[in-house]
A and B are shown apart, each in its own frame.
Chain A
Amino acid sequence: MAECGASGSGSSGDSLDKSITLPPDEIFRNLENAKRFAIDIGGSLTKLAYYSTVQHKVAKVRSFDHAGKDTERDHEPPYEISVQEEITARLHFIKFENTYIEACLDFIKDHLVNTETKVIQATGGGAYKFKDLIEEKLQLKVDKEDVMTCLIKGCNFVLKNIPHEAFVYQKDADPEFRFQTNHPHIFPYLLVNIGSGVSIVKVETEDRFEWVGGSSIGGGTFWGLGALLTKTKKFDELLHLASRGQHSNVDMLVRDVYGGAHQTLGLSGNLIASSFGKSATADQEFSKEDMAKSLLHMISNDIGQLACLHARLHSLDRVYFGGFFIRGHPVTMRTITYSINFFSKGEVQALFLRHEGYLGAIGAFLKGAEQDNPNQYSWGENYAGSSGLMSTSPELGPAQRARSGTFDLLEMDRLERPLVNLPLLLDPPSYVPDTVDLTDDALARKYWLTCFEEALDGVVKRAVASQPDSVDAAERAEKFRQKYWNKLQTLRQQPFAYGTLTVRSLLDTREHCLNEFNFPDPYSKVKQRENGVALRCFPGVVRSLDALGWEERQLALVKGLLAGNVFDWGARAVSDVLESDPHFGFEEAKRKLQERPWLVDSYSKWLQRLKGPPHKCALIFADNSGIDIILGVFPFVRELLLRGTEVILACNSGPALNDVTHSESLIVAERIAGMDPVVHSALREERLLLVQTGSSSPCLDLSRLDKGLAALVRERGADLVVIEGMGRAVHTNYHAALRCESLKLAVVKNAWLAERLGGRLFSVIFKYEVPAE
């Protein structure tokens, strides 16, 4: 990625360009809109944080004024689309080696336009050392912040806002990283920070934490004692030595004390009885590797033991480890994990954080930004702008590792609205949105990565086509292609780079990359056209449904939902058909559907339920625009309304593929209300409510939903959740357990997945579930 110039860092901005091969504007992005800086200078790495505003193009839909027009005219779009600029907030975090600090400060000085910024928050051991340099270069006053306070603030922030932030590390396991789903209640927890010494902090709330203990045997001991014993000066080199050593040559093991008897005693002879115990009795030379390994074990075991003792004393089972001793080093994560498992007998889990290195900088930034209340918002990791977790394999030489980690980025977007759990989740802590963990399932991973690679051309084409008036669309689309392609290649090598790899994360990453290059809504035109077509068909479809008997109608409604769901531009099997056959319509789709019994078929149970009393309130997560929402979902909604069930229709806040957005759903509903008195009165009487999910993903994470939606669900006492579509009901939430009745339906529009599920292309999933009493 980046190379350290032989001359080191000079004092002019030019030197940065010489020493860093990566274009600096790709590192310090959006600097011209930056305000509010924070810096965390550690022993070897500097972490810079700033806040910027990002201008995005967004596609806005606006209803035409239909007043005075009595007749529907064919071929007229149902609404207009305009591309507007929108400003969103973003947090940038950059991590680089201290050697670059001067060059980086120069670059920032040259590009910083905003003059409001007067202060820079600084933390970390090096803050003092570089104080004058920073003040001189940036002309900003340095405000020093307490290291541990920053660390904990940062830790709380990432635990709350970044899914899959924490992971357990298992050596030799595939994958070696196992990410944790975010616990709705992050407190209390124990943070063990292993810097030169060890600090153990119990964190009880956002602002309340307590230093409960520590140890002087930490990273500094490994480094200092290691340097004395092995004459090796660098921390990374010491770790490298340790990874090749045999500690049993230096340590006195149980088998050395007990002889062969350890086996009959059922003892593990490999347990260490006395660290460095052999170096006391034998008059011999010890290899550097062996001593380094022994030292590593000694320190890791000691820290693990103390952490367990503290965890037990405070009855905590979540212990997060951080500090430069850990910082992504597999060797230390491994020994710490081993030690924790051993001493706690599995009761305590050693957890590590993907963004551990940024905690101090994040915390310092938050301290300085308190007036902006960043904690009021939800933030999301931007996959496009963040470097993933690097695999720092111990087999990799220190030089290689240093290079791969020279510049590391994390970007977080401020989400418009705070996100919370769906109140209807049966057990929020154990809820996992994704059905298949691709980090775990090599076969599925290979398939989906290839699938997304193959679909890339189509996406690029679609993106260019969506902006016919833009001169640079092709160029941007090409950049998008490159970026997403690179992400896919990274994920092939390091599936754990952004947490658990799932179809959802692959889709989300693609959306992030499209946004990055200003393709906010490549399907806006397609959606507009299809919505127009479907709206025209709506009265006919309703008429024919109304002509059916009750029982026939129920089946027809469900079939309509399913047929509508066939219209998914995200599925290649469908997009191919739709592109080649413009007349492919609702009836054709119905014929594509699998005949009953479906692949998963609890329709009879559902029908039985419908014969009973009406539901109080149904929450429906809609999928695609066009036929899906208008001819599938709305007739179904209408039937529910007629039964006396209130309906909350939840659509995405932002665009993703051809999924219907909240703003589109408002227009569609308005148009349908104009044609249908049932929908009309329901809207007026607020028995039909249209809300946004807070998401811009083709999938659905029920633990991160718009706060307003959650409030409404509670207020209306929703007792039925309908989740529609492959992205929301199969890739995610297929196994989601809810406290109320739920209906998950989808048409499997991917042959590979269908086969995996034991069916064929266009197999039907109709999963009606009633929670156990």
Chain B
Amino acid sequence: MRRRGPFHPRVHWAAPPSLSFRLHRLLLLHTVNPPRIREPIGREAFGPPPASSDWLPTHWRNGRGGRPRARLCSGWTTVEEARRSPTLGGWLGRQRWLLRMGAGRLGAPMERHGRASATSASSAGEQAAGGPEGRRREPLRRRASSASVPSVGASAESARRDRLGSYSGPTAVTRQRVESLRKKRPLFPWFGLDIGGTLVKLVYFEPKDITAEEEEEEVESLKSIRKYLTSNVAYGSTGIRDVHLELKDLTLCGRKGNLHFIRFPTHDMPAFIQMGRDKNFSSLHTVFCATGGGAYKFEEDFLTIGDLQLCKLDELDCLIKGILYIDSVGFNGRSQCYYFENPADSEKCQKLPFDLKNPYPLLLVNIGSGVSILAVYSKDNYKRVTGTSLGGGTFFGLCCLLTGCTTFEEALEMASRGDSTKVDKLVRDIYGGDYERFGLPGWAVASSFGNMMSKEKREAVSKEDLARATLITITNNIGSIARMCALNENINQVVFVGNFLRINTIAMRLLAYALDYWSKGQLKALFSEHEGYFGAVGALLELLKIP
């Protein structure tokens, strides 16, 4: 069973009781590189709003940090991410928990150092403006201390009091924030971020119940973010908002609004961070709840370049939370979950809604770049059963090598026109028909790419055939491993999620058919409309502390 950390993740922000203020400084001076870290904070709250509301495109257009982009798989958006390799075991939960502790230790000193260095370091130039930083730190601090940290050391306490002393009193701008805090609601904007191996998934809650007064008080940058995200469907050449997935009239933390789903390639992450820096994202003091391997990989960049501290969250926790939540709110009045009837028959095949009223136990197969398989027994009782490195990344990677395609969509499109039986060796190719001794039907694939052992056949296949065979190989394999896990765990409903399934009806129908066929009707393959976004949703829920 996975061990769940006893602390709320936000404990990252808390100062550990054991380290003195001075020690923190020492630590910091030696470990994190310096000055700029916190300076921009103050200025932005009072300073001029960004010159243009079109801040995202500017940077995304520039690609990776403004360098000309050699090749961007723009639109390669399918594969979620390899959260853990197939190979990571359940002990990970505990490791991660340990890390949270570690992150807390690092997090706190940075804040202090930022303050300490504010006077000495003006190297950040125009952005350096020694504003009343403590005020904006405070909300975070308070949340931190309210999170179940057993005790906070005396030095940390006094440090906080120092800051309170420098607090310059409420202004119009901060009133809203104070109110938000009073309602124990985090500040806008509300984001949930899931940084995978291939794709970054971003969910954004757009409040629709903003009062006139509130709007007036809304920080310009916040407003511009809202306007920009909601009025565009594409951001730069690679960022995409999945408009069809938008969830309308959602109530979250007492606020009504719409939930937006945005994705962009992980290799554009540096540009995203740079943009955050340029636009003084940090001044909003929002908490960036992020999950996925990238939450770790880019943590340092977020901090040093964007001056943003990530709240790193366990990806499996987020995934489960996200799925359960999204399933509970439905899909704008429709069912979130669905299945295929007659998946093998193109004529009769039907996508039908499925009511997941008894979700447990559930086998959850998350197909991103790699694949994770979880057995879920209740809301907070689940375990990672296994995983495989043969996932969406493998499909797309092999397709790129075999066909020269550049986007996931292109690979799928080719696959839809190909014939895998030219590439694969079927049972009937070996036995002339069914292999009755073992009850194997003639149409079953005996050897994926098996025909490619022969030179003549290699010369006779098209790129489309190869793309199709790659898709069939990877999909069948995932189905097969999922089926074995379902048997071992004695679970009969299997939910497949992850961006590998986006616009991938071939794979979904194949999974549905294979599961049904090999289990003799015992297993049911289920799918979910928001395929790859559950981790990001989970991160958002974590921000809002929605169980």
Contact = CB atoms under 8 A, between A and B. Distances in A.
A277 interface: yes
A216 B400 CA distance: 22
A274 B368 CA distance: 9
Interface in A553-600: none
B283 interface: no
A216 B446 contact: yes
Contacts of A286: 401
A738 interface: no
Contact of B293 (A254, A272, A345): A254
Nearest to B297: A259
A211 B438 contact: yes
A256 B368 CA distance: 15
B402 A228 contact: yes
A281 B73 contact: yes
Given A272-B389, A276-B393, A279-B400, A221 B85 contact: no
A271 interface: yes
Nearest to B411: A280
Nearest to A199: B438
Contact of A273 (B84, B102, B451, B453): B84
Given A224-B452, A274-B394, A309-B481, A252 B476 contact: no
A244 interface: no
A280 B402 contact: no
A257 interface: yes
A570 to B, nearest CB: 52
A275 B196 contact: no
A257 B197 contact: yes
B12 interface: no
Interface in B111-134: none
Contact of B369 (A219, A264, A277): A277
A559 B244 CA distance: 97
Contacts of A259: 293-294, 296-300
Contact of B393 (A196, A266, A277, A301): A277
A227 B452 contact: yes
Interface in B68-118: 70-71, 73, 76, 79, 81-89, 91-92, 95-96, 98-99, 102
A195 B488 CA distance: 26
Interface in A215-231: 215-221, 223-225, 227-229
Query: Which has the most chain A C-beta neighbours within 10 Å: B84, B88, B265, B453?
Result: B453
B198 A258 contact: no
B488 A279 contact: no
Given A271-B85, A273-B389, A306-B484, A224 B440 contact: no
A197 B394 contact: no
A228 B447 contact: no
Nearest to A273: B82
Given A267-B95, A275-B389, A309-B488, A252 B197 contact: yes
A146 interface: yes
Nearest to A261: B296
Contact of B401 (A196, A214, A279): A279
B361 interface: no
B455 interface: yes
A262 to B, nearest CB: 8
Contact of A233 (B293, B369, B448, B455): B455
A277 B82 contact: yes
A196 B102 CA distance: 49
Contacts of B95: 265-267
Given A196-B425, A223-B453, A251 B400 contact: no
B92 A274 contact: no
A684 B449 CA distance: 74
Interface string B461-500: 0000010000001001100110011011000000000000
A395 interface: no
Given A148-B437, A211-B440, A277-B397, A306 B386 contact: no
Contacts of A211: 437-440
Contact of A312 (B368, B449, B488): B488
A385 B397 CA distance: 50
Given A251-B389, A313-B484, A225 B293 contact: no
B466 A272 contact: no
B267 interface: yes
Contact of B398 (A196, A276, A313): A276
B390 interface: yes
A274 B391 contact: yes
B430 interface: yes
A224 B447 contact: yes
A76 to B, nearest CB: 67
B297 A261 contact: yes
Given A146-B437, A228-B402, A302 B477 contact: yes
B370 interface: yes
Interface residues of A, number: 68
Contacts of A298: 389-390, 394
A750 to B, nearest CB: 50
Contacts of A229: 401-402
B101 to A, nearest CB: 11
Contacts of B402: 228-229
A253 interface: yes
Given A229-B402, A265-B99, A274-B369, A220 B438 contact: no
B189 interface: no
A485 interface: no
Interface string B194-221: 0011100000000000000000000000
Which of A228, A229, A258, A274: most chain B Cβ within 10 A?
A274
Nearest to A218: B447
B473 A197 contact: no
B467 to A, nearest CB: 12
A125 interface: yes
A220 B449 CA distance: 6
A267 B88 contact: yes
B191 interface: no
Nearest to B89: A345
B437 A216 contact: no
A309 B385 CA distance: 10
B411 to A, nearest CB: 9
A302 B388 contact: yes
Contact of A197 (B368, B439, B447): B447
Given A149-B437, A265-B99, A313-B487, A220 B447 contact: yes
A193 to B, nearest CB: 11
Nearest to A277: B393
A45 interface: no
- For B82, B95, B400, B438, which residue has the most chain A Cβ atoms within 10 angstroms? B82
B450 interface: yes
B424 interface: yes
A217 B394 contact: no
Contacts of B396: 280
Interface string A299-317: 0011001100110110000
Contacts of A279: 397-398, 400-401
Nearest to B477: A217
Contact of B449 (A224, A265, A271, A273): A224
Given A257-B83, A277-B389, A280-B198, 11 more contacts: A148-B438, A196-B425, A216-B450, A220-B453, A254-B88, A264-B99, A272-B87, A274-B85, A274-B397, A276-B393, A306-B484
15 contacts: A195-B447, A220-B425, A227-B453, A227-B458, A228-B458, A229-B402, A257-B293, A261-B99, A273-B83, A277-B369, A279-B400, A280-B396, A281-B73, A281-B76, A305-B386
Interface of A: 125, 146, 148-149, 195-197, 199, 211, 213-221, 223-225, 227-229, 233, 250-254, 256-262, 264-268, 271-281, 283, 286, 291, 298, 301-302, 305-306, 309-310, 312-313, 342-343, 345
Interface of B: 70-71, 73, 76, 79, 81-89, 91-92, 95-96, 98-99, 102, 196-198, 265, 267, 292-294, 296-300, 368-370, 386, 388-394, 396-402, 423-425, 430, 437-440, 444-453, 455, 458, 466, 473, 476-477, 480-481, 484-485, 487-488
